[in-house]
Amino acid sequence: MRVSAGLPTGMEGLTYPIPFSDPENVIKIAQAAERFGYDSVWGNDHMTTQNYVRAEFPVPPRFWEPLVTYAFVLSETKTIKVGTGVLVLPMRHDIVVTAKQIVTLDHFGKGRLEVGVGIGAYREEFKALQPDSKLQRGDIVDEGLQALKLLFSERVASFDGRYYRFKDVELYPKPLQKHLPIYVGGNNPNNIERTVKWADGWLPAGMHVDRVRAGVKRLHELAEQAGRDPKTIEVCPQFVVHIGKTHQAAIESFRKSQMNKHLVSLAKSTLKGQGTATHEDINLIGTPAEIIDKANAFREAGVTHLLGLYFAANSVQELLDQMQVFGEEVTPKVT
């Protein structure tokens, strides 16, 4: 099982306090992840400040555009991969430009890029950027996945959708990787169907192990119906991590974090439908031994990649310390 770390490209005010994500700190976190043996780092994608963040903080957060950020991260690291967890396609109206940026990163980074796409956690962001749009964000992602696959594979590509349209586009060069991995983010069952149709992996977030197991079963059923080998499709959930010397210490420290406030904010959107399970129950929060048991339970449920582990911390040093403990005490027992 692969293990990767989250990168705070758009997380100030959401999961971390303001200020937090200085450019130097973003690079430092990526370099630390490489040093501690993580497979890759995964950043998120925000274009405008969410309403609840505006209400809490007197100054706005800094949301760095992930693809541009990765150009610097790749130049300052040697082996670690980068991934988008997720690139919000409904906020990116020109899919050809997005495809060109992805291909450029793949070449300059010597194949160290993976791409997750999705609808985004906050509909209010989409409405801010596309206030007159009548389209559903899921329909836009469907079109975007198809358009990207055409642009990455066809010598000359055309697409005539409701949101994305282009004609006779020769996107060249193609990706450096013979098969650039694309993942579909989101907990809604529709995203499992999208994964089977157009992608290489399913990327849910903060999902209880029982729901992961049920989702994997459904994914495998759909893959077999579509003539795909289920073993070729990655299952890559994202989780929050906080490690303590005791279970209670980990819980108490986590509940004081900005990350905890963020999870509460997502309870009515991305993380709805979790039933009675608490954030502490679902995520990798506890002692190293407890987290190892949880991680192995996810592996047994069908998880192939702990993608974008987001460490709950209120300072960069605390994040780095958490990342190091996980890399040294947990990763060797789950990979």
Buried b (16+ CB within 10 A) or exposed e, 274-288: beeeebbebbbbbbb
pTM for this model (two decimals):
0.95
pLDDT value of position 266: 74
Sign of torsion over alpha carbons 80, 81, 86, 90 = positive
pLDDT tens figures, 118-163: 999 999 999 999 999 999 999 999 999 999 999 999 999 999 999 9
* Closest among 152, 146, 139, 120 to 46, alpha carbons compared: 120
In Å, how far are 48, 108, 207, 210 from 275, measured between CA atoms?
A: 30, 44, 11, 11
pLDDT tens figures, 69-84: 999 999 999 999 999 9
pLDDT tens figures, 218-249: 999 999 999 999 999 999 999 999 999 999 99
Residue 87 pLDDT greater than 70, yes or no: yes
Domain 2-334: give its CATH superfamily: Luciferase-like domain (3.20.20.30)
User: Beta 201-203 vs 182-185: how paired, if at all?
Assistant: parallel
310 token code pair? 């987001």
Amino acid at 132: D
